[in-house]
Amino acid sequence: MNIIVLQHIKIEDPGYIKDLMSANSRVRFMIDGKPYKFEVGKAYELNNQKWHSVMNKGKEDRINFIFDYVPPETLATLASQS
């Protein structure tokens, strides 16, 4: 299915947790220019304020859930300002 998500930074979101549901050996995830292989069925915390991209050169789809979150220290700061 040859899908490429170009390298980007998400400025507005402080981070997210990625839970990989399925993948194939031809998926390549890059963070700050370094390749990473993620294991199916595990969740990973990623800093999406770093340059990142993903490429799927395989025939199978890559399925994952992404959960955005705000770190506790940021929540505390926001709460004290309101």
pLDDT digits (tens, 9 = 90+) for 10-58: 655 556 666 666 778 888 888 899 998 888 888 888 877 788 888 888 8
What are the helix (H) ranges across 1-82?
72-81
Q: What's the rounded Cα separation, in Å, for the pair 39 and 17?
A: 14
Per-domain residue ranges for the chain?
3-81
Task: Count the alpha carbons within 13 Å of 63 in the hemisphere toward its beta carbon.
Answer: 5
The CATH architecture assigned to 3-81 reads Sandwich (2.60)
Tokens 């930074």 correspond to what residue? 9
pTM above 0.85, yes or no: no
| Cα end-to-end span (Å), the chain | 47
